Amino acid sequence: MAHSLLIEGGNQLALGTSLGPLQDGATAVVIGGGPAGCSVALMLLRLGRESGKRFKVRLFEPKHFGMHYNQCLGVLSHPLLDILRDDFDIKLPDSMIQRRISGYELLTSRDRIVLEEGEEDTLAVRRVEFDKYLLKAAGEAGAEIVRSRVTALELNPDGVNIFSEGEHTRADVVFGCFGLDPGMITALRRHSFYRPPRVIETLITKYDCDAELLAGFDNRIQTFLPRLEGVEFAAITPKARHASVVLAGRRVSLAQLGHFLDLPQVKRFLPRDFSIGDVFKGSFPGSPARHYFEDRFVAVGDAAGMIRPFKGKGINSAVITGGIAACTAVKHGISRRAFRNYQIECNFIIRDYPYGRFVRFMAKLLSKKLSLGPVIRYAGRNEEFRWALTKSISGGATYRDIVLRCLRPDIALGLLGAYLSAPFHRRHGG
């Protein structure tokens, strides 16, 4: 996808209608001040300046970043820095970058493979500082930051009523950038057809590291598909002076986190006196939302299920879909019909879900029922398959491209041969 989010064309509604492109003096409410909400606000204000219109943008965010957190590993991958620079005029300060990630390592109890990403920058940042920086940029650009939680909203033909803990606001359009917040989901269910995405749960913790332990990561994110019931994926990401751990699956528990951290292939990255500290529970979408736009309302980012299926690029998707949603409202309109342009522009995410489900099924089959060993060994000698494995983990390509490139007779026969040549106990997880 091209870096620029500025979309053109389409069947615009007539200027002057209440559901046409946003007019001078229009009020837009953004619910949520994470990357999705900030990108909506920044793009609305940019397009307003360029078109000579004044939009009133009110961004509701009750969290105080530093005291509260959005649960995420804080990994920024290509081409996010280009998008922030080109479309939002934002350059992250070097002080925010805690580590430059050179690639990934996939490990089992017996096998490991290094998966290099090449020249594209992947950056580990402190997520709370990243969110704080974007929110400050939105405020400096002209958005009014409202430190209050939205509790309810009413979508009406002539406008939207937004009720928060501190006030009532009337707006022309609402952008739902609230992630998977249960309170907002309940409120929307009452007054719209919106239905949230299915979710995959996460547990996140971190621990301090000395220089010697951090050196053992070799600037790579350590990834795992552990043979633990309900756990589909795990990773340990090195930062400046600590490492962050994430466990993901349909239902993950503190007990499963303990079992994971006790695995031999994991212990090598832990300090000798390691003990589990604070643990945070989160989630990310496992499917697209349903009815995520209608007249005067559009959901963005996680709230719409707009994330690369199951693994990676969550911050990228939030920023990209936020920019597209804002462009749609300014250039096409705020009706359900106009927001179909947003849906079309975001199809590169939605249409990837079936391929993502297939890759997810294969990953669970290989890691739970069979063994990853033959897969890793085959990837070590087949460059095309190693590319597919790298991009599956990093999010550097669509699952569609990955699947289609792997559905070749030579790769299928190569994988089959790798399994047949392995001892029986190593084909079945022994």
pLDDT of 51-90, one tens digit each?
Answer: 999 999 999 999 886 554 555 778 888 889 999 999 999 9
Whether residue 55 sits in one domain with residue 134: yes
E strand or H helix that includes residue 170: strand 168-171
CATH of the domain at 258: 3.30.9.10
Min mean pLDDT across 150-164, 241-255, 414-428 is at 414-428
Per-residue pLDDT at 179 exceeds 90 = yes
Q: What is the pLDDT of residue 235?
A: 95
Does 81 map to a domain? no
> Tens digit of pLDDT for each residue in 191-201?
899 999 999 99
Per-residue pLDDT at 269 exceeds 60 = yes
Query: How high is the mean pLDDT of the chain?
Result: 90
Whether residue 278 sits in one domain with residue 235: yes
Report the alpha-carbon distance of residue 271 to residue 299 in Å, rounded. 42
Whether residue 296 sits in one domain with residue 373: no
Per-residue pLDDT at 426 exceeds 70 = no
Does 319 map to a domain? yes
Whether residue 418 sits in one domain with residue 360: yes
CATH of the domain at 181: 3.50.50.60
Sheet hosting strand 293-294, strand order edge to edge: 144-146, 56-60, 27-31, 173-176, 297-299, 293-294
Does 118 map to a domain? no
Whether residue 31 sits in one domain with residue 141: yes
Does 117 map to a domain? no
The residue type of 7 is I
Q: Which residue, of 314, 329, 350, is where some domain finishes? A: 350
E strands, 9-132, in order: 27-31, 56-60, 75-77, 97-101, 103-107, 112-116, 122-125
Q: What is the pLDDT of residue 214?
A: 96
Q: How many structural domains are present in the chain?
A: 3
Q: What is the pLDDT of residue 122?
A: 87
Does 85 map to a domain? no
Q: What is the pLDDT of residue 429?
A: 55
Share of the chain above pLDDT 70, in %: 91
Whether residue 224 sits in one domain with residue 363: no
Whether residue 39 sits in one domain with residue 186: yes
Higher pLDDT, residue 163 or 166: 163
Provide the residue range defining the domain that includes 264. 199-285
Whether residue 135 sits in one domain with residue 221: no
> Tens digit of pLDDT for each residue in 298-333?
999 999 999 887 666 889 999 999 999 999 999 999
Whether residue 262 sits in one domain with residue 291: no
Whether residue 205 sits in one domain with residue 172: no
Q: Which residue, of 285, 307, 340, is where some domain finishes? A: 285
Measure CA of the first residue to CA of the last residue in the chain; give whole Å. 42
Whether residue 292 sits in one domain with residue 152: yes
Would you say 137 and 90 are in contact if contact means Cβ atoms under 8 Å apart?
A: yes
Q: What is the pLDDT of residue 347?
A: 93
Does 18 map to a domain? no
**Local confidence band at 5 (pLDDT 50, 70, 90 cut-offs):** low
Q: Which residue, of 267, 285, 303, is where some domain finishes? A: 285
Does 330 map to a domain? yes
Whether residue 221 sits in one domain with residue 181: no
The total of other beta-carbon atoms located within 10 Å of residue 412's CB is 11
Whole-prediction pTM: 0.91
Report the alpha-carbon distance of residue 48 to residue 24 in Å, rounded. 8
Report the alpha-carbon distance of residue 262 to residue 237 in Å, rounded. 17
Does 98 map to a domain? no
- Give Cβ neighbours of residue 209 (< 8 Å, ≥ 6 apart): 238, 241, 242, 243, 271
Per-residue pLDDT at 31 exceeds 90 = yes
